[in-house]
Structure 1
Amino acid sequence: MARFTFKLPDIGEGISEAEIVAWHVAIGDRVEEDSPIADMMTDKATVEMESPVTGVVVELAGEVGDQVSIGAALVVIETDAVETGDEVVAAPLTSAQAETAEQYEAENPGVEEILPEMGRGTASGAGGGGGVPQTPAPAKAAPLVKAPLVEAPLVEAPLHHPADGPPPRAGEDLKTHALASPAVRARARDLGIDLASVKTDADRVRHADLDAYLRYGSGEGYHPPRASRAREDQPIKVIGMRRRIAENMAASKRAIPHFTYVDEIDVTALEAMRADLNANRGGRPKLTMLPLMIVAICKTIPDFPMLNARYDDEAGVVTRHGSIHLGMAAQTDAGLTVPVIRDAQDRNVWQLATEITRLAEAARAGKLAPSEMGGGTITVTSLGPLGGIATTPVINRPEVAIIGPNKIVERPVFKGDEIVRAKLMNLSISCDHRVVDGWDAASFVQGLKKYLETPVLLFAD
């Protein structure tokens, strides 16, 4: 048999290392050719690594969250091929990995014949289990002891009415058994209330007695519902997409002096036009606010080129881009990601809606290509119906501006001497104050406001 060392290939231009975000194999697993081994994340994408050979995994390069350099050993596989003498040593192993491998050998006596001089390693992560399976020895059963039955004396419960004040504490002149309907018993069980501690002026506990018990004092017999009880602490390792987001946001806030400007926009006419367009869209995708917002941005940007820019602060150069490559912040199960709509200025509202849908679905499925995640020149971030009154979005560095439409609400407004119903939306914009002045940001939003409040202009040349 021979050992095959699978080295991490070059998985992206300019990438020197990648992070292990998931193992699909563990020490001792048999893998088939082209079966998944691990998920590796770079600054731009997550790539699934596949085994080039069939064999048994004997070494892993690290644990989830570790960085592996391009060209370094990722997995060592024992194959059925003839030994060639070209053996490559895998990356150093942790003490936890070595201990797991020793346990595996001890619990599988014949493993040395299958895996001679097996390296120490373990794995954890989605799809691959948490390392080598362990089978603990069964504990010796303790002998059963019969406890003597004790018959508690019955105590006559005094009459109680809510007006009499709080009920007595548990154990003070209480009956040891209370009569109640199944519905009352179920409610008491959900609330964690011992029915024996609830006093009543009837022959059985009623819903009104439970209400009085909760209103005037819980006593020792009451426990809060399980949903409100304290839970155990849950340490979560910050890896993969979550770590990338943390690093990028921290770098952005550290390096960029943010300021945020917010203005109110009347989108009554825009929403009416959007409803008309959707009613006559045929087989085209349903329009949300976002494609219309992007058209307004693309029409306004030429008058404010300082916002469609990227700032290389190390070189001290601001590049004002002629094309609008618009980042679209999208929430996924793995965290926030920003796919980019290329040349947004050349697309009409229906083309934008189609591209937004495609990119959003690819982001949620984790199938965005590296070229679809970088090179943005300005970003839009929207929480939709959860948008709140106003947001202060963080700039997607090295861009210099990010736009955040907020929730649309209906409010009464004055139109001359009349009060009418209007659909209003606050629009936020955060800018890099090293590149964009407050006057520029406010003027840009006023330009957007003109298009959004007079939506026919969105379709005029």
Structure 2
Amino acid sequence: MAQVLEFKLPDLGEGLTEAEIVRWLVEVGDVVVVDQPVVEVETAKAMVEVPCPYGGVVTARFGAEGTELPVGAPLLTVAVGETAADRTGGGTDAAAAADAPRSAEADGRTAAGEGSGNVLVGYGTSEAPARRRRVRRAEPATPSAPAARGVNGTVRESADTPSGAPAAVADGPVPVISPLVRRLARQNGLDLREMTGSGPDGLILRADVEYALRAAATQSRTEAPSGAPRTHTAPASAPAAAVPDGPGVTRVPLKGIRGAVADKLTRSRTEIPDATCWVDADATELMRTRAAMNAAGGPKISVLALLARICTAALARFPELNSSVDTAAREIVRHGGVHLGFAAQTDRGLVVPVVRDAHTRDAESLTAEFARLTEAARAGTLTPAELTGGTFTLNNYGVFGVDGSTPIINHPEAAMLGVGRIVPKPWVHEGELAVRQVVQLSFTFDHRVCDGGTAGGFLRYVADCVEQPAVLLRTL
């Protein structure tokens, strides 16, 4: 007799709490071996292939491609020790067995105990076992006949529902798009069995729960006595009613990399009291030095690598800028090594790969690592480890054809150097006006870790190295 095991979306590390299914690598009925990749997911940091810890036959998959799942949600079930005969004759039994542990696991309760709002089920995909029951179809509630919450917090049918009509769900688990939606309903006292989902096969979406909450709030205000003051407190999780969108309005979900960037930048702006200083520098000698290096043969050296080498030398002189702030302990944490992040624009959004131990690398090694990480970023194959753990960021926004910027610090770091485009400009050189290659450098820093004198000293040293690369010889 085959044992059916459930494989849940594992903790992918680095504080990641959810992932979006990009591509399934196995079908229901496929035989898998231990540690075989079964699904490709996109987290807020990278594309990851998730291996299955069990060997056997896939009996169910949970989540269509494009579905976002929280860590701990079921991915698939595997019948361990199942034979070919089992697959041909006992598919339904395997599917039923796969469903049983899921119903009993969620929140430690069963459907008979505290209602279906606590049952963890599949996500309504067409690949789910045939045992999954279908929800009765019904027209969605309208503003003229909204759903109303009874005294027990559940959603009641509207008055025009025929008295003989069956309940929305008579038995079995309720299909919900994600446990997060189930929790939202539970926190606001909504009985999911009284709701009809607008998703495929009656799948209850987040929009359905939010609409029910708004409808219940509207019903409460309408039923208030005419002489009583019209006050209403919306549920804590219910969003405020939004102004209807006009023609041509498009809503884009903040999720994946875009959502992660939004969260990090918001946190940075909220927590870090940053300041920015900038200076123009004559980069003519730096460009000549690079040309001489590349003319000598061997791998070509990039401008970014030279700037990175300058940054590591500057951080060795001003180590307080290679730090972060532990707000809970009220301590400044100075890092021993420089893990240098650099901004890379990709089709999936802005990512910041990290060059580990950049302070130990020469210009040639830095060039190779920048090239490798940039290619991986564009291909979407960066691992979470390659996108986290940075201690300082180099932002080369000059590639976009702009001169200056006041960038937002990459939380939880304490500083970022921005580099504009290098362009010919009039410049006074050795007492005479000449055309020189000029670059604007901007430096944004966390004012908690240092004062302006330290930040100015760092930026001035970087500018000196750009103008006279021989200054670096002191640290080589």
Instruction: Name the residue aligned to 1:401.
Output: 415
Rounded Cα–Cα distance in structure 2 between residues aligned with 1:32 and 1:261 = 60
SS at match of 2:419: strand
- How far apart are 1:50 and its partner, in Å? 4.7
Q: Give the direction of change, closer, same or farther, for the CA distance of 1:99–1:312 in structure 2 (3 Å limit).
A: closer
Q: Give the direction of change, closer, same or farther, for the CA distance of 1:5–1:115 in structure 2 (3 Å limit).
A: farther
Instruction: Name the residue aligned to 1:280.
Output: 296
- Give the letter for the 2:130 counterpart: L
Matches within 5 A, 1:198-217: none
- How far apart are 1:451 and its partner, in Å? 1.1
Answer yes or no: is 1:248 the counterpart of 2:264. yes
- How far apart are 1:38 and its partner, in Å? 4.6
SS at match of 1:49: strand
Rounded Cα–Cα distance in structure 1 between residues aligned with 2:388 and 2:123 = 42
Instruction: Name the residue aligned to 1:18.
Output: 17
- Give the letter for the 1:314 counterpart: A
Answer yes or no: is 1:263 the counterpart of 2:265. no
Q: Give the direction of change, closer, same or farther, for the CA distance of 1:385–1:4 in structure 2 (3 Å limit).
A: same
Instruction: Name the residue aligned to 1:49.
Output: 50
Instruction: Name the residue aligned to 1:305.
Output: 319
Rounded Cα–Cα distance in structure 1 between residues aligned with 2:253 and 2:117 = 19
Q: Give the direction of change, closer, same or farther, for the CA distance of 1:450–1:11 in structure 2 (3 Å limit).
A: same
SS at match of 1:24: strand
Name which of 238, 248, 252 aligns with 1:236. Answer: 252
Matches within 5 A, 1:312-391: 312-391=326-405
- How far apart are 1:426 and its partner, in Å? 0.2
- How far apart are 1:235 and its partner, in Å? 2.4
SS at match of 1:388: coil
Larger radius of gyration: 1
Q: Give the direction of change, closer, same or farther, for the CA distance of 1:417–1:302 in structure 2 (3 Å limit).
A: closer
Instruction: Tell me if structure 2 keeps the 8 A contact 1:267–1:453.
Output: yes
Identity, % of aligned positions:
30
Instruction: Name the residue aligned to 1:6.
Output: 6
Q: Give the direction of change, closer, same or farther, for the CA distance of 1:93–1:328 in structure 2 (3 Å limit).
A: farther
Instruction: Name the residue aligned to 2:406.
Output: 392
- Give the letter for the 1:115 counterpart: A
Matches within 5 A, 1:153-232: 232=248
Instruction: Tell me if structure 1 keeps the 8 A contact 2:309–2:359.
Output: yes
- How far apart are 1:453 and its partner, in Å? 0.7
Residues 181-205 of structure 1, C-alpha deviations (whole Å, 9 max, x = no match): xxxxxxxxxxxxxxxxxxxxxxxxx
SS at match of 2:17: strand
Instruction: Name the residue aligned to 2:306.
Output: 292
- How far apart are 1:132 and its partner, in Å? 7.1
Gaps of 5+ in 1: 105-110, 125-130, 134-229
Q: Give the direction of change, closer, same or farther, for the CA distance of 1:354–1:65 in structure 2 (3 Å limit).
A: same
SS at match of 2:461: helix
TM-score, normalised via structure 1 length: 0.64
Rounded Cα–Cα distance in structure 2 between residues aligned with 1:386 and 1:58 = 43
Residues 256-292 of structure 1, C-alpha deviations (whole Å, 9 max, x = no match): 111111100100111111122122232x1x2221111
Rounded Cα–Cα distance in structure 2 between residues aligned with 1:355 and 1:38 = 25
Rounded Cα–Cα distance in structure 2 between residues aligned with 1:348 and 1:89 = 54
Residues 23-71 of structure 1, C-alpha deviations (whole Å, 9 max, x = no match): 5359996655346335152x654422356544453644997334233xx
Name which of 68, 89, 94 aligns with 2:71. Answer: 68
Instruction: Name the residue aligned to 2:38.
Output: 36
Rounded Cα–Cα distance in structure 1 between residues aligned with 2:307 and 2:123 = 57
Rounded Cα–Cα distance in structure 1 between residues aligned with 2:124 and 2:74 = 20
Q: Give the direction of change, closer, same or farther, for the CA distance of 1:66–1:420 in structure 2 (3 Å limit).
A: same
- Give the letter for the 1:240 counterpart: G
Residues 152-193 of structure 1, C-alpha deviations (whole Å, 9 max, x = no match): xxxxxxxxxxxxxxxxxxxxxxxxxxxxxxxxxxxxxxxxxx
* Number of residue-to-residue matches in the alignment: 344
Rounded Cα–Cα distance in structure 2 between residues aligned with 1:302 and 1:394 = 23
Instruction: Tell me if structure 2 keeps the 8 A contact 1:58–1:120.
Output: no
- Give the letter for the 1:116 counterpart: R
Instruction: Tell me if structure 2 keeps the 8 A contact 1:391–1:428.
Output: yes
- How far apart are 1:73 and its partner, in Å? 2.3
Rounded Cα–Cα distance in structure 2 between residues aligned with 1:388 and 1:39 = 35
Rounded Cα–Cα distance in structure 2 between residues aligned with 1:429 and 1:265 = 13
Q: Give the direction of change, closer, same or farther, for the CA distance of 1:267–1:93 in structure 2 (3 Å limit).
A: farther
Instruction: Tell me if structure 2 keeps the 8 A contact 1:261–1:442.
Output: yes
- Give the letter for the 1:260 counterpart: T
Instruction: Tell me if structure 2 keeps the 8 A contact 1:45–1:368.
Output: yes
Residues 206-255 of structure 1, C-alpha deviations (whole Å, 9 max, x = no match): xxxxxxxxxxxxxxxxxxxxxxxx99433222211111111111000001
- How far apart are 1:333 and its partner, in Å? 1.9
Instruction: Tell me if structure 1 keeps the 8 A contact 2:124–2:200.
Output: yes
- How far apart are 1:298 and its partner, in Å? 1.7
Rounded Cα–Cα distance in structure 1 between residues aligned with 2:354 and 2:61 = 41
Instruction: Tell me if structure 2 keeps the 8 A contact 1:381–1:404.
Output: yes
Rounded Cα–Cα distance in structure 2 between residues aligned with 1:359 and 1:99 = 35
Rounded Cα–Cα distance in structure 2 between residues aligned with 1:410 and 1:355 = 29
Rounded Cα–Cα distance in structure 2 between residues aligned with 1:383 and 1:417 = 31
Q: Give the direction of change, closer, same or farther, for the CA distance of 1:23–1:409 in structure 2 (3 Å limit).
A: closer
Name which of 431, 453, 460 aligns with 2:467. Answer: 453
- Give the letter for the 2:443 counterpart: I
Q: Give the direction of change, closer, same or farther, for the CA distance of 1:441–1:305 in structure 2 (3 Å limit).
A: same
Answer yes or no: is 1:88 the counterpart of 2:90. no
Residues 384-415 of structure 1, C-alpha deviations (whole Å, 9 max, x = no match): 33251211111111111011111111112223
Instruction: Tell me if structure 1 keeps the 8 A contact 2:341–2:394.
Output: yes
Rounded Cα–Cα distance in structure 1 between residues aligned with 2:123 and 2:335 = 55
Instruction: Tell me if structure 1 keeps the 8 A contact 2:20–2:41.
Output: yes
Q: Give the direction of change, closer, same or farther, for the CA distance of 1:266–1:58 in structure 2 (3 Å limit).
A: closer
Q: Give the direction of change, closer, same or farther, for the CA distance of 1:99–1:335 in structure 2 (3 Å limit).
A: closer
Q: Give the direction of change, closer, same or farther, for the CA distance of 1:363–1:231 in structure 2 (3 Å limit).
A: farther
Rounded Cα–Cα distance in structure 2 between residues aligned with 1:88 and 1:54 = 17
Q: Give the direction of change, closer, same or farther, for the CA distance of 1:39–1:307 in structure 2 (3 Å limit).
A: same
Residues 403-436 of structure 1, C-alpha deviations (whole Å, 9 max, x = no match): 1111111112223552211010000111111222
- How far apart are 1:438 and its partner, in Å? 1.6
